[in-house]
Amino acid sequence: MSDAYLALEDGRVVEARGRVPGRTRGELVFTTAYTGYEESLTDPSYEEQVLTFSYPLIGNYGVRAERFESDRIHPRAAVAREFTDEVVEWLAEEGVPAVDHIDTRDIVTSVREQGAMKVGIVVGDDATPEAAKEELAKCKGMSEHTDIGAQVTTTEPVTYEGDGDTTVALVDCGAKKSIAESLVARGATVHVLPYDATEADVSALSPDILFISNGPGDPENYTATHDLVEAFAGEVPLAGICLGQQIIASALGGTTEKMAFGHRGVNQPVRDLDSGKVIMTTQNHGYTVAEPGTLDVTQVNVNDGTAEGLASTDLNVITRQYHPEAHPGPHDSLGFFDDVLAMAPAGNEKTRKVVASD
């Protein structure tokens, strides 16, 4: 066991048990999920952040690669009340600093009360409070990463074949693999493109639907993806999840803003404005749509009223701020993928509805 210290932006220095040595820094965020730690740690939306688990025991059902949402761990560090040895071994293999024996309830409460904050972390036999403060100091004055998409996108186009007639161009701004899997399970063929794909790249595929994925960072920095939305709006049906909703709204006359501490975890209630139905959703984002522009707000967060769903009948657009693929989380919203594929031009009869196989 080695020593560990966390220097928080609110001035506190917290001592912890070191599980994986290293030094790092980043935005301190949390998840309330009590399962799905493999999916959370491999979610590209956590790139460059420090992920705190509010559930007290992380690792109680092992580590299995088939549950991963990408090919690596994305947070810069992991924090928990207690990590099992198997999770620690996985984090160590990927060189991700980790600490436990810490009051994570206190950490989460601080973030919720004071807003998102930076943290400096040092783990190792030579760890000191001063060293943690030095890491924290490196955060101050730094602007939001402007090209974070390059760190999480596919390096080249990839195709996943479905057995239907619908084709989807999925722009990978940090996509979870379960998004493509949910579409393929419904018969769609999914062409995954880099986040900086051009209009020509998309046109060459003649897709039935253009889909903008989730991902990390400020949506305003994804300029190439904004250009795609502007180019194809009204010409090709548009869909988006999380960051994808923010990019689509911004490109179509709306605005986005950074939230105090974001929406995190698997228990966010969302109300559909048409039906009045409330569903529980999985969320992980620090930005939100402030003004929807030419789009209509169709769903809202029950807790704070922020936009959770947008749509436009004229432009054939449908988006969600939460993660309908629900890895981890409740399956209340899987029907979103059926709604997306229903936007495809007539004649794609082989694309089918999936209810229970996701």
What Å distances lie between residue 93 and 20, 86, 90, 96, 120, CA to CA?
9, 11, 5, 8, 21
Question: How crowded is residue 357: how many other Cβ atoms within 10 Å of its Cβ?
Answer: 8
- How big is the CA angle at 263 (ends 237 and 104), to the nearest 5 degrees? 150
The pLDDT of residue 298 is 98
The percentage of the chain sitting over the pLDDT mark of 90, rounded to a whole number, equals 87
2-137 classified as CATH 3.40.50.300: no
The pLDDT of residue 332 is 86
Amino acid at 24: T
Q: What DSSP letter does each residue of 324-341 carry, written as one string?
A: TT-SSS--TTTHHHHHHH
The pLDDT of residue 31 is 92
> Containing H/E element for 193?
strand 189-194
Asked if 173 is an active-site residue, the reply is no
Q: What are the structural domain ranges in the chain?
A: 2-137, 149-341
The pLDDT of residue 354 is 56
Beta-sheet strands, E only, within 224-277: 238-241, 255-272
CATH number of 149-341: 3.40.50.880
| Nearest Cα to Cα of residue 97 among 141, 50, 133 | 50
Catalytic choice (263, 285, 323, 327) = 323
Catalytic choice (69, 191, 325, 327) = 325
What's the chain's average pLDDT? Answer: 93
What Å distances lie between residue 194 and 106, 151, 156, 281, 318, CA to CA?
39, 11, 6, 27, 21
| Nearest Cα to Cα of residue 62 among 43, 84, 93 | 84
* Mean per-residue pLDDT, 11-40: 95
* pLDDT range class, residue 145, cuts 50, 70, 90: low
Report the Cα 149 to chain-centroid distance in Å.
12
The pLDDT of residue 93 is 98
Q: Is 228 one of the annotated binding-site residues?
A: no
Q: Is 22 one of the annotated binding-site residues?
A: no
In the block, tokens 């923010």 appear at 246
Give the 3-state secondary structure of 67-89. Answer: HCCCCCCCCCEEECCEECHHHHH
The pLDDT of residue 327 is 81
* Mean per-residue pLDDT, 143-164: 90
What Å distances lie between residue 226 and 203, 284, 334, CA to CA?
16, 21, 26
Q: Is 312 one of the annotated binding-site residues?
A: no
CB 119 within 8 Å of CB 28: yes
CB 226 within 8 Å of CB 195: no
Catalytic choice (47, 242, 308, 327) = 242
The pLDDT of residue 355 is 47
3 state SS of 61:
coil
What the block records as the tokens of 323 is 């993660």
* pLDDT range class, residue 141, cuts 50, 70, 90: low
The pLDDT of residue 326 is 79
3 state SS of 185:
coil
351/274: higher pLDDT: 274
* pLDDT range class, residue 1, cuts 50, 70, 90: very low
3 state SS of 323:
coil
Over residues 195-223, the pLDDT tens digits come to 999 999 999 999 999 999 999 999 999 99
Asked if 94 is an active-site residue, the reply is no
Over residues 250-303, the pLDDT tens digits come to 999 999 999 999 998 889 999 999 999 999 999 999 999 999 999 999 999 999
Rounded to whole angstroms, how far apart are CA atoms 199 and 292?
24
Q: Compute the 3-state secondary structure of the chain and give helix, strand, coil in percent, each to the nearest 5.
A: 25, 35, 45
Phi then psi for residue 166, to 5 deg, are -85, 135
Asked if 285 is an active-site residue, the reply is no
Q: Is 245 one of the annotated binding-site residues?
A: no
* pLDDT range class, residue 142, cuts 50, 70, 90: low
* Mean per-residue pLDDT, 300-328: 95
Q: Is 45 one of the annotated binding-site residues?
A: yes
| Nearest Cα to Cα of residue 278 among 322, 339, 338 | 322
* Mean per-residue pLDDT, 11-24: 97
* Mean per-residue pLDDT, 157-180: 97
Assess whether pLDDT exceeds 50 at residue 357.
no
Q: Is 149 one of the annotated binding-site residues?
A: no
Lowest mean pLDDT among 50-54, 165-169, 310-314, 331-335: 331-335
Amino acid at 73: I
Assess whether pLDDT exceeds 60 at residue 351.
no
* Mean per-residue pLDDT, 306-315: 98
Rounded to whole angstroms, how far apart are CA atoms 161 and 335?
21
> Containing H/E element for 283?
strand 278-291
350/326: higher pLDDT: 326
* Mean per-residue pLDDT, 73-84: 98
Rounded to whole angstroms, how far apart are CA atoms 276 and 336?
16
